[in-house]
Amino acid sequence: MSNVSDLMNKVEKLNEKCTQGKSCKRSCLCLNGDLANMYTSLDHTSIRKAVRWLLDCVRKTSRRKEVSIPISKIEGKTHLGRTGDADSKRINFTFDELLEIVDFDLDNTYFKVGDTMLQQKVGIPMGSPLSPALAQIICAFYESNTIKQARSAGITNEVDGVRYVDDLTAVIYYDPSSPLSTSNAYDLSKRIQYGYHPNMELEVEDTDKPFKFLSSMIRINKKTCKIRAKFHNKNKAQIKHSKPQLFLTYQHFESFAPVRQKSSVVISTIHRIGNACNSVQYAQKAFNLLCQELKGLKYPDKIIVRALRRVRNKDPRWHAVSMLPGSNRRLTEQQKTTTEWPARRCMRARMEAQTA
C-alpha cells in the first residue's frame, strides 16, 4: 500500500468479497503486527537479491527495460518506459543503472562516532531516501517466497492482506466445514509470521479483539469475514472524563499560534477520519468526539464548521455527516440506518460514472 488513504479501498474490496458467491460461506484467520528490524539488521546480500528479484518480476510482465522518474512531484509519477521529457522534466534509468545505484548506496554508507569514521556493513541508514523502498522490497520478496512455498506444500487457502511500511494485516480464508482447510489456514498464518528474513521479527497482536492499523481500529468478524474500521482517537478516554490531552494533538485556541495553523490541523484530522472509517456511523461518532475535544480547547463553532465545509468541497462523502459542533451530538435515525461510507477513490469513480 503506497498511501494511507488506500486502506479503505482495500477494506471495501475485501468486504465486497464477503457478499459474492462462495466467499460468504467462508471463515477467516487474521494476522496483524509490526515488523521489527526492517532497517538495522538486514545484510546487504539479501537486499541485493530482493532488488534483483523485483526487477526480474517486472521483466517477465513487461517489455520495457527502463524507468522514467520525474525530477519533482509536480511532473507526475514514476512509470515504466522512456519519456521524451528526459533531461528537462524527467530522468530515464535502465534496470542495470538502478542496480548500480542500489550497489553504490549500500557500499558507501558511512557514519562518524567521535573522531572515528565507520562504514555500515549490515543494515541500511534510516535517513537515506532509498532505504524505505529497499525495506519494502525485501518484505515483498519474503512474502512472495512464503506464499510460493506454501503453494508447493499443497496449501491453497486464499490470502488477502495489506502492508504499509512495517505494519502488516493479513486475512487467510478457509472452509470451516473442512478440517484440512482449517489446519492449512493456521499453518499458513505461522508461515507468514516466521517467513521473513531471520533478522526480522513480526510482532503479532491479538486479532480476536479490535486492533490498531495506522489511524484505524479494525474489527474482523472471523465467521463472516466482514471488516469494520473506525477512527482511533488517542485521547478518547481523556475526552470522556473532561481531562487534559494525553497526546498533545491540538493547540489551545487561545495560544499564540495563528488561527490558520489551528484550522489546518482540524481540516487534516477530518480528512484522516474519512480515510480511517468505513461507515457513516463511525465517521459521525469520530467527528462528534473531535468536536468535543476541540470545544474543551476553546475552539469556537465557526472554526469547526468552516473546517468541515472545506473538507466537503473536496470529499463529498462528508455531506452525510451532520455539522454538530454544539451540544446535540446524537446520531439521527437516517445515519443509524445509512451505513455506506465508500472509500474515497471508489466514491470518485461512482461520481464519474453518474456524470458520464
Report the candidate in 171, 167, 227, 248 with the shortest Cα–Cα distance to residue 4. 167
Question: C-alpha distances in angstroms, 88 versus 51, 72, 75, 84, 93?
Answer: 28, 11, 10, 9, 14
Compare 255 and 347 and report the one with higher pLDDT.
255
Report the candidate in 45, 41, 201 with the shortest Cα–Cα distance to residue 122. 41
Residue 298 pLDDT level (bands cut at 50, 70, 90) = very high
Residue type, 355: T
Q: Which of 16-20, 34-38, 101-105 has the lowest mean pLDDT?
A: 16-20
Distance CA 35, CA 57 (A): 24
Residue 337 is predicted with a pLDDT of 45
Report the candidate in 155, 201, 200, 164 with the shortest Cα–Cα distance to residue 29. 155
Most confident of 32-36, 187-191, 324-328: 187-191
Q: Which residues of 146-168 are buried (b: 16+ CB within 10 A; e: fewer)?
A: bbeebeeeebebebebbebebbb
Q: Tens of pLDDT along 114-137? A: 899 988 888 888 778 888 899 889
Residue 39 is predicted with a pLDDT of 83
Compare 98 and 87 and report the one with higher pLDDT.
98
> What is the pTM assigned to this prediction?
0.82
Distance CA 218, CA 212 (A): 6
Residue 309 pLDDT level (bands cut at 50, 70, 90) = very high
Residue 344 is predicted with a pLDDT of 61
C-beta separation of 233 from 284 below 8 A: no
Residue 4 is predicted with a pLDDT of 73
